[in-house]
Amino acid sequence: MREINYIVVHCTGGSPNETIPQLIAGFRSNGWKNNGYHIVVDGSGARHNITPLEQIANGVQGHNAKSVHVSYMGGKIVKGKGVDTRTDAQKAQLLSILRELRAKFPKAKIVGHRDFSPDKNGNGVIESFEWIKVCPCFDANKEYEKI
């Protein structure tokens, strides 16, 4: 198994009703040979393992070799702001998946995709104006800090 330093939470930025084949077709249309995530939670809260954990997924450029990527279907951007569209079923399933991954990779840090943005002003905090992406449209650090 690969060394895992990060468990990264994402949103697809698409419809919560998007299908897994549609999601994977989107990765291929971008020219990606690997999927962007390991695990995806659809709008009903169902879990889909789309990339084996032993393999690298294309979730965060420059950090994929030592990361596991988990996404929920949905999340959207309105006037530059992320809107958290998770259903209660998605929230429960994400929590379950993250607990499972934490047990498997106890030293890995749970973060959102946006937390890989650069600290442009050097104050040690990645603030909203510094985000390259708003994904996953909520503060994963805060929400999952006790896992």
User: The domain spanning residue 115 has which CATH number?
Assistant: 3.40.80.10
| 1, part of any domain | no
| 79, part of any domain | yes
74-78, long-range: CB within 8 Å, 24+ apart, which pairs? Answer: 74/11, 74/12, 74/14, 74/15, 74/16, 74/43, 75/11, 75/12, 75/13, 75/134, 75/135, 75/136, 75/137, 76/13, 76/137, 77/13, 77/134, 77/137
How many domains are there within the chain? 1
| 48, part of any domain | yes
**Lookup: tokens for 138:** 């909520």
pLDDT mean across residues, the chain = 94
| 57, part of any domain | yes
| 34, part of any domain | yes
| 72, part of any domain | yes
| 53, part of any domain | yes
Q: What stretches in the chain show pLDDT beneath 70? A: none
What's the pLDDT at 82? Answer: 84
**Which structural domain range is residue 38 located in?**
6-143
What's the pLDDT at 126? Answer: 87
Q: What is the pLDDT of residues 77-89, one digit of tens each?
A: 777 778 999 999 9
- Global pTM reads 0.94
What's the pLDDT at 133? Answer: 87
Looking at the chain, list the stretches that DSSP marks H as alpha helix, in order from N- to C-terminal side: 20-29, 88-104, 140-143
Report yes or no: 92 and 3 within 8 Å, Cβ to Cβ.
Answer: no
